Amino acid sequence: MTNPENVLILASVLFAIGGLGVMLRRNALVAFMCVELMLNSANLAFVTASAMHGGLDGQVASFFVMVVAAAEVVVGLAIIMTIYRTRRTTSVDDANLLKL
């Protein structure tokens, strides 16, 4: 069994990298994938916690995160497609209709 602290550190690093991507990338699809990375690292932390506490509840929580991520991806990609259809861009900088 791996030392759970190391796995939690890995999950934190992945979460931080995902957050960095959300802040850096302009392409809405890539930013969205970085959100997925953050969700994945949270899953990793859940599974590690499940092993630390000796119960399967963490794995069930991780499973629910995957279900929510699937629903989120479907709606999010549909929104990106709709924006692309009307504005011909996926850059988050160009969706600025609400700007004064």
- Say whether residue 87 binds other proteins (CB under 8 A): no
- Say whether residue 27 binds other proteins (CB under 8 A): yes
**Residue 15: partners with Cβ closer than 8 Å, 6 or more residues away:** 37, 38, 41, 42
Q: Which is nearer to other proteins, 78 or 100 (by Cβ)?
A: 78
Q: How many Å apart are CA 19 and CA 94, to the nearest integer?
A: 21
- Say whether residue 29 binds other proteins (CB under 8 A): yes
Residue 100 CB, shortest distance to other proteins, in Å, is: 16
- Say whether residue 9 binds other proteins (CB under 8 A): yes
Are 65 and 46 within 8 A, CB to CB?
yes
